[in-house]
Chain A
Amino acid sequence: MLEVEGLSKRFGGLAALSEVNLSIEAGEIVSLIGPNGAGKTTCLNLITGFYKPSAGRVHYCERDITGCAPHAIAQRGLVRTFQKTNVLRGLSVFGNVLTARYRQGETSLLRTFFAQGGKRERELRDEAAALIETVGLASRMNAAADSLSCGELRLLEVAVALGASPRLLMLDEPAAGLNTHEAEQLGQVLKRLMNTHLESMLLVEHNMALVMAVSDRIVVLDFGRKIAEGTPAEIRVNPAVVAAYLGKPAA
């Protein structure tokens, strides 16, 4: 579904990402982990068009999307969330998700001004309400987004991303700031979404419990390079990964 070949990004003299290969098949949850500064978010930004790569190609559903604009990539069904929680803070929970249905609603300007869009608009509202129920925020439907707790905001962020009808969803540290219980619930929501709403998922995450619980495959980055790839069980015992996180044992 997603093929990333030799993806590299330099910021001046700093190689944030070097020659990373990555693939995601339909039906898979792949996690991208690594110590701080390993290049995880950079990798996400490159795939979703927020950065332009210095080298390498990104293919999504047999199409080369390298260098496409972020909104164009999102319109094809590759949707991401952000590390620092990002929602439309001035709107309600419902307004956020309704807005996120933009591409599924009436986008023609002529019809916006001159036609009655009542039916489609009602469908959009029902779909948005259903998505909010899916992530478990139904009781907060009309709350202002900036009144939500950290955990609720993360769920809202997922609902907003779902609003754009993604096929491949990329989550950037969705469990940051959550306690163990909240992270577990988030994991359940994500797994459920794989059966109902999504084809694949890429998870960038530091919370190892969550990563181990949901991932089919894990890719490990360190200093902008891929140092390991495998199932959760393989990664747990991989010496390179242990060294990257804990340092090498003294000689």
Chain B
Amino acid sequence: MAFERNFLLVGLVLALLAPLVAYNEYALHIGVVIMFSVMLATSFNLIVGYAGEFPLGHTAFFGIGAYTAALLSMRFGLPFYGSVLAAAVMAALFGLAIGGVTLRLRGPFFVIVTLCFAEVLRLIASNWIGLTNGPMGLSGIAKPAWIIHFTGVEQKLWFYYAGLLLASISLLISYRFVYSNVGRAVVAVRENRFVAQSIGIWPFYLGLVTFVLAAAISGLAGGFYAYYISYVGPEVFGFSFMITMIIMVLAGGKGTLVGPVVGAVIVVFLEEYLRDFKDLRFSIFGLIVIAVVIFLPRGLMGFVTRRHELYRPRDGGNISKALSGEPDLTARALDTERGVLDA
């Protein structure tokens, strides 16, 4: 808990200072992509890592956010922050509707049905020409008025800090959520649905809360993406964003907040460095995923954070022996071995 908070705060400071050493359009573009990836990975991780379900159609909310921001900006001239916020709200509403249906299913059924929803939305985006301009997509989304006179690199810098702000908000909200009483209940459902029910936790409700929160963050990322690229087409619902999210979350470490952040940074850099390999880089990504699943099932940060994740009482567990004074039922041998991990 404290480890994750400190890690994220250090990351925030580094991100704030980064433009000082890398002030050029290319580096800032990478920075913007990282911010946007952090939001997506954080959102996906809330469901995969904490609620323990695998929504293969998570791009639905990303796409809804992107289209919402694009349409509000183009048709109604809504300013940047207004339409990005509206994108999050719209995605959350879709999350409520889709989650309300899909969270009654579990395991492979949940995976398939969420995927279907994303695919249906992609088909609608391709065919409802009047609203979405079909496969041509919506292009020319206006940049915020106050940065239009900026030079190219200044515009990138503005987007970088706007992205940093949105990513920080997403992580702050996620942090408050997963380390709250409610967040613990979500993890309880992931760990054991029956135990959770037996202590008064309603799995469907908590799954839905997590799903809606994740959808909102995804929509936020989508709205930001629409403004930055200034184009939205049906491919925002496509599978390539999904693959990126999966790699980032699995490589970084699901079920931790810092894992997806680290994963997002690594994947974005890898994508850049592997650009020379052209199509071969997808094969390389595939190999990385296989290697991670086999050798680091908890991801890069999973090992680091696990020992910090275990909850402990206020005084660090130095509570005196049991009041009853009964001898322990313990086999002490195991104790010392495992104790190293927990102490």
Q: Is the CB of A92 within 8 A of B311?
A: yes
B319 contacts which chain A residues (CB < 8 A)?
Answer: 129, 133, 138, 141
Residues of chain A lying within 8 A (CB to CB) of residue B180: 106, 112, 117
| CB of A143, distance to nearest CB on chain B (Å) | 6
Question: Which B residue's beta carbon lies closest to that of A150?
Answer: B329
Interface stretch, picked from A2-10, A13-21, A159-167, is A159-167
Number of interface residues of B (CB under 8 A): 48
Chain A residues lying within 8 Å of B331, measured Cβ to Cβ, are: 149
Binds A, one of B76-84, B127-135, B227-235, B320-328: B320-328
B191 touches A88 (CB 8 A): yes
The reply to whether the CB of A206 lies closer than 8 angstroms to some CB of chain B is no
**B195 CB contacts on chain A under 8 angstroms:** 82, 86-88, 160
Inter-chain CB contacts under 8 Å: number: 175
A91 and B313 in contact, given A102-B188, A102-B201 (Cβ under 8 angstroms):
no
Quick one: closest A residue to B307, CB to CB?
Answer: A144
Is there contact, CB below 8 Å, between B322 and A155? no
Q: Quick check: which of B113-121, B140-148, B335-343 contacts chain A, the rest being far away?
A: B335-343
B interface footprint on A172-194 (CB within 8 Å = 1, 0 otherwise)? 00000000001001001100100
Does A106 contact B181, Cβ atoms closer than 8 Å?
yes
Asked whether A99 is an interface residue with its Cβ less than 8 Å from the other chain, the reply is yes
Q: Tell yes or no: A35 within 8 A of B by CB.
A: no
Bound-state Cα–Cα, A134 to B322, Å: 7
Residue contact B311 to A112, C-beta cutoff 8 Å: no
A contact residues around B192 at 8 Å (CB): 86-89
Q: Whole-angstrom distance between the alpha carbons of A107 and B201 in the complex?
A: 10
Q: Is B149 an interface residue (CB 8 A)?
A: no
Indicate which residue in A91, A122, A192 contacts B310 across the interface (CB closer than 8 Å).
A91
A142→B182 contact, CB < 8 A: no
- A126 contacts B314, C-beta separation under 8 Å: yes
* Distance of B42 from chain A, by nearest CB (Å): 15
* A100 vs B317: C-alpha distance when bound (angstroms): 18
Q: How far is the CA of A159 from the CA of B181 in the complex (A)?
A: 18
**Complex interface residues of chain A between 209 and 234 (CB less than 8 A to chain B):** none
Give residues 11-66 of B contacting A (CB, 8 Å): none
A246 within 8 Å of B (CB atoms):
no
Bound-state CA distance A94–B180 (Å) is 15
B261 CB within 8 Å of chain A: no
A204 adjacent to chain B (CB < 8 Å)? no
Q: Are A143 and B339 in contact (CB under 8 A)?
A: yes
CA distance A163 to B312 in the complex (A): 15
**Any A CB within 8 A of the CB of B2:** no
Task: Please tell me if B199 contacts chain A, counting CB pairs below 8 Å.
Answer: yes
Is there an interface contact between A88 and B188, defined as CB atoms closer than 8 Å?
yes
Alpha-carbon distance between A92 and B335 when the two chains are bound, in angstroms: 13
B282 at the interface (CB under 8 A from A): no
Most buried by B among A102, A103, A106, A128: A102
Q: For residue A178, which residue of chain B has the nearest CB?
A: B329
A-B contact pairs, 24 of them (CB 8 A): A48-B198, A82-B195, A90-B187, A91-B191, A94-B317, A95-B184, A98-B311, A99-B199, A102-B200, A103-B200, A107-B181, A109-B182, A109-B209, A112-B176, A124-B181, A128-B313, A133-B319, A134-B323, A134-B324, A138-B319, A141-B312, A142-B342, A143-B338, A149-B330
Across chains A and B, which 4 residue pairs bring their CB atoms closest together, nearest first?
A: A105-B181, A95-B311, A92-B310, A88-B191
B binding-site residues for A, Cβ under 8 Å: 173, 176-177, 180-185, 187-188, 191-192, 194-203, 209, 310-314, 317, 319-324, 326, 328-331, 334-335, 338-339, 341-343
